[in-house]
Amino acid sequence: MVDVVEFLSSGDHPVELSRYASAGELQSRIERGYVLVKFTDTRGGTELGVRLDKSRCAIDGADFDKAAGRVRLLGTLTLDFVDVECEVDIDVASLAGQGRIRVLDAAAATHH
C-alpha cells in the first residue's frame, strides 16, 4: 500500500478548496496566510492545512471580486511526520485545480 506522502509527491493531482464559499473568502484566507487544500483523488480525500509563503504565491492573475482568473499558492506543512511543500494552481471561479507536494530534505526544512 502506497502512503499518502509518496502518492501525493508522485505528480499532479486534482484539488479543491471546498471549505470556502466564495472567491472573496479565499482571498481573505490567502491574506491571513493559511488555506485548506483538499486532494480529491485519495481514498476519502486528503485535506491539508498549508501555511503559505506569500512571497512565492502568485495571485496577480486573479480578480477575486469577479471570481475570475487563476492563483498559484505555495506553502509548507508536515504530513505524516514528513516536512513537505505544497503547490496548487487554482481556478478562482471553480475553486478547483491541480496540486502537488514535494518532500523537503532536512536541510531545506530548517530554512522554512
Domains and CATH numbers, the chain: 4-109 (2.40.250.10)
What is the identity of the amino acid at 2? V
CA angle 58, 28, 30 (to 5 degrees): 30
Distance of alpha carbon 75 from the chain centroid: 7
- pLDDT tens, N- to C-terminus, the chain (112 residues): 569 999 999 999 999 998 999 999 999 999 999 999 999 999 889 999 999 999 999 999 999 999 999 999 999 999 999 999 999 999 999 999 999 999 998 654 444 4
Contact 111, 13 (CB under 8 A): no
Predicted pLDDT at 8: 95
pTM: 0.89
The end-to-end CA distance of the chain, in Å, is 30
Predicted pLDDT at 37: 97
